[in-house]
Amino acid sequence: MTNAGSNSGNTTDGGDGHYRNLLLTTLLRLLLIYFLPVVLLAAFFHIQHRHLIRDTRLAHLQSIAEHQAYTLDLFLRERIINLENVIDDPRLNVPPTNIELQRHLDNLRKTSDTFVDLGWFNAAGDLIAYAGPHPDLESRNYGLEAWFLALRGSAKQRIITDTYMGFREQPHFTIAVNRVIDDRYVVLRAVLSPERIEEYVATLQHPERISTALLSEDGMVQVISGKEIKVSTPSPLKPPRHPSIGSDITKRNGSDVFYAWTWLKTTSWVLLVEGEDPSAAAALISGGYATVIIIIGGILLIELLLIVHRARQVVRHKRKTDKQEADLSGQLVQAAKLATVGELAAGIAHEINNPLAIIAEETGLVRDLMDPSFGNALSDEELRNHLDIIHDATFRARDITRKLLGFVRQEKVILAQHDVCKILDGVLDGMLGRELELSNIRVVRDYSPHLPEITTDRHQLEQVFLNIVKNAIDAMENEGTLTVHTSSIHSRVIISISDTGVGMTREQVDKAFLPFFTTKEVGKGTGLGLSVSYGIIKGLRGQISVDSELGRGSMFTIELPLELVSSKPERSHGGKTS
């Protein structure tokens, strides 16, 4: 009951905005429900995929690094063994002659063309014998060269130097072995061309996307694939010493750089393999991506369209049910109105029958006066007088039917600024005016002089006042005082209507707003008036309550807001709930 009433209030001020909001929220909800899991799942798989690609990539680079480091180790070890074979050759004179060395160099070059030259040093670092392209180097002293000092100063029997320029001013590196032959410390040294090593370093697969470099312990580039060798250039990447084999990802110029390293076993060089972000590369190579995107986009579009369609359907359905509900509550209010009219019927009949009786009597009288058998002559003046009375009576009756129709006619809810006191006066002087007078009820109007106007529906409020005042009249039987009081507190208008009638018991007060509850005799009241009034007041965002004492009278209090904001009606607190 009360729900129906408040709903009718909602729908009247709801409008299109309300449904647009509903459509948006429904859409959002559906999108979240349908797309969120898909997006999350996609994101999860994407991340998994990326990780997989990265791991694969790193493993790939790692294997290249390991493989090449192994190859390089093998190569360097071979070169040292070559050199050791020469120095340990029992046929070799100590010290050898240049020719001897040349012959050995020629032999070495047959195994590996990386050998540039051979040199034989004594303990002081003097170059005793030499074979190679720089004969001018002969008789130079290498005693203070870093590699020589390193070899001389340690217990090691072999050394592999970093690349350096040296006396010949060309990048080269040196391998050297030492021996003590016949109590004499001798060193055999070979210069190797780094260009040759580059061939070992360069990879076979995708050389454009994978670069390989050989770095010294302090991070200087020794050899780099596909690039001109720049000795002693610091490498931007410096792999850690431990672990000796590893891989990682770093950022350079905003993009990921994948790299793997392996430290050589023969010398403290590290082999560094670098590659680009594989997903970026993958994006470049797969031209099929476009079709995939089109297909996925198409599916998403279809799903989106379906969702929009579904949301619209939901809103349309809601709109329909709202309308039905509003219609229903409208019908209920209308039924209650008619019921009120039924209760008013006897009073209304009286008000119409009285003027009709006057008309009947006046017309009869005029006819009598015109009848010669009564012998009375009717003057024009007198006739006019009687006609005036008939006229007045006719319009008295018309006013009553008009008031009745004005009340019964189903009016649309029209919200406008109204003075509550004027609406009260309309009820007290209009439809119920004569009944109040005939029932000897004194009406005390205690109106606040500064009552603000409120935004409300006049007809609905009229109906509420009518119900309450009519109940008051019935409660007071044949005399009493009806006090109507208005005031305003905190942007709310308070109307109280109290009577000096029979009043109600506690139980009756509790049930006063329940539908079909009536204290009147069977057939006199429908019990709808107050329950509908309750619904109307709730719909107008107000509150209605009753206070009553048996034998003393009842007081109805209505509270209405000044503005009818289009928010949900507040929950009733206190007063009656039904």
Q: Please answer whether residues 333 and 532 qualify as being in contact, where contact means their C-beta atoms are separated by less than 8 angstroms.
A: yes
Nearer to other proteins, 371 or 549 (CB): 371
What is the three-state SS of 97-137?
CHHHHHHHHHHHHHHCCCEEEEEEECCCCEEEEEECCCHHH
Nearer to other proteins, 310 or 386 (CB): 386
| Token pair in block for residue 369 | 């006066």
Shortest distance in whole angstroms from residue 476 CB to other proteins: 13
CB neighbours of 419 closer than 8 A, spacing ≥ 6? Answer: 451, 453
Shortest distance in whole angstroms from residue 391 CB to other proteins: 11
Enumerate long-range contacts of 383-386, CB under 8 Å, 24 or more apart.
386/362
Q: Please answer whether residues 396 and 420 qualify as being in contact, where contact means their C-beta atoms are separated by less than 8 angstroms.
A: no
Nearer to other proteins, 82 or 518 (CB): 518
Nearer to other proteins, 392 or 419 (CB): 392
For residue 186, CA distances in Å to 138, 341, 437, 554 come to: 16, 134, 144, 130
Shortest distance in whole angstroms from residue 503 CB to other proteins: 22
Shortest distance in whole angstroms from residue 530 CB to other proteins: 23
Shortest distance in whole angstroms from residue 547 CB to other proteins: 30
Q: Give the containing element (helix H, strand E) for 248.
A: strand 245-252
Shortest distance in whole angstroms from residue 350 CB to other proteins: 4
Nearer to other proteins, 204 or 377 (CB): 377
Nearer to other proteins, 154 or 401 (CB): 401
Shortest distance in whole angstroms from residue 388 CB to other proteins: 10
Distance of CA 250 to the CA centre of its chain: 34
Shortest distance in whole angstroms from residue 318 CB to other proteins: 48
d(CA 310, CA 50): 36
Nearer to other proteins, 288 or 375 (CB): 375
Range list of β-strands (E), 467-525: 480-489, 492-498
Q: By the criterion CB under 8 A, which residues form the site for other proteins?
A: 346, 349-354, 356-362, 364-365, 367-368, 371, 373-374, 376, 386, 389, 392-393, 437-438, 440, 478
Neighbours of 476 (CB within 10 A): 21
Shortest distance in whole angstroms from residue 477 CB to other proteins: 10
Nearer to other proteins, 277 or 392 (CB): 392
d(CA 539, CA 81): 104
Nearer to other proteins, 44 or 374 (CB): 374
Range list of β-strands (E), 438-524: 441-446, 454-457, 480-489, 492-498
**Which amino acid type is present at position 522?**
V
d(CA 568, CA 538): 10
CB neighbours of 180 closer than 8 A, spacing ≥ 6? Answer: 186
